Amino acid sequence: MKRIVCTMAPASCLQLSSIRPLSSISSLSSSLRISKSVTTRISLSISNPYPNLSLSLSRFGTRDIHQHAHSFRIKASNFLRTEGNTVEAGAAGNVAQASTTVSQEDVLEWVKKDKRRLLHVVYRVGDLEKTIKFYTECLGMKLLRKRDIPEERYTNAFLGYGPEDSHFVVELTYNYGVPKYDIGTGFGHFGITVEDVSKTVDLIKAKGGKVTREPGPVKDGNTVIAFIEDPDGYKFELLERGPTPEPLCQVMLRVGDLDRSISFYEKAFGMELLRKRESPEYKYTVAMMGYGPEDKNPVLELTYNYGVTKYDQGNGYAQIAVGTDDVYRTAEAIRLCGGKITREPGPLPGISTKITACLDPDGWKTVFVDNIDFVKELE
């Protein structure tokens, strides 16, 4: 038995230098154990004949290693990669627990390749049936499903323009006995594309809906838009466009530092900056972030108002849900990019769907949901 003791080194990955063939790596897994001393050193006891084994584990104590081990529990055969004489390894079995601190570069590269899409946006309403009626009759949405959780005193309703497994939808939450919410100043609006804005506005007026901006071209552009409010005061921007697979096309949130937000969503969320528009005359800048072209995919519209660094987020708007292939790796990427994890990655009690939740630099919440588990939940 050979004992190797290493301190918290600045390197950010487990490296096995000058190592023997892959088939012999698996013999390490049965004899690896990790312990933590009072001086926050990590002791690794390895039954292994490799004299040149060098290990570096950065930033993590044993609690973190065990907590995130699952995210990199990948077979060595499809994780090892050789660069010169160095092999970066996430070997099978327990060795994976020592390799959770892969390099930041590797994690962020994985984020770009992860299969992600916007699943739904969640917010609270005071009268669920009234809101469902407005969305279906005035906005043309369909009620996709509804679930009541009486033991926790709330009901959810999912509405949209197509099935949840392929479309972005809204998830309305009604908490028993709560008739009203504070929307705050940070939430902006939802965007919906329609083929004729004027006709849609006329229908909304006929149904008693509130129109806050009459149909007309957008400032400095040709797109015809209008603004309306739902029964709870949430704003919707109606945009006149041709047919699209995603009529529910935007969620607009206000941020205090646009460049910081763009960087965070690009790196931690793997989104693209689709376009950026500055309006110095009206003292604001807008950035459209998403997972594909704006005409076919929903986008997150981030708005920076000159000189405003903080907003009241109220208690009405809740979060966006994003699909991912691995909630554990997702949580690690968010940490590396300065985001705050508010729910550690793992399965939800009762339904076993794996999720993780985080806050962006402005405190806006996002929940990441395992793609396979999400499909199973729908079934």
pLDDT (tens digit, 0 to 9) for every residue of the chain, 379 residues total? 444 444 333 333 333 333 333 333 333 333 333 333 333 333 333 334 333 333 333 333 333 433 444 443 333 333 333 333 333 333 333 433 334 455 778 888 999 999 999 999 999 999 999 999 999 999 999 999 999 999 999 999 999 999 999 999 999 999 999 999 999 999 999 999 999 999 999 999 999 899 999 999 987 778 999 999 999 999 999 999 989 999 999 999 999 999 999 999 999 999 999 999 999 999 999 999 999 999 999 999 999 999 999 999 999 999 999 999 999 999 999 999 999 999 999 999 878 899 999 999 999 999 999 999 999 989 8
What pairs with residue 193 in β-bridges? Answer: 239
Active site residue ranges:
237
The 10 Å Cβ neighbour count of residue 155 is 17
pLDDT at 59: 36
Which pair of tokens denotes residue 248?
């529910």
Kindly list the structural domains of the chain, giving each domain's residue range(s) and its CATH number in brackets, ordered by start: 2-102 (no CATH), 117-378 (3.10.180.10)
CB 334 within 8 A of CB 104: no
How far apart CA 81 and CA 88 sit, in angstroms, is 6
Q: Is 171 annotated as a binding residue?
A: yes
The 10 Å Cβ neighbour count of residue 146 is 13
Q: Is 167 annotated as a binding residue?
A: no
pLDDT at 102: 55
CB-based burial label for 332 (10 Å; 0-12, 13-18, 19+): buried
pLDDT at 350: 79
How far apart CA 202 and CA 220 sit, in angstroms, is 25
pLDDT at 80: 31
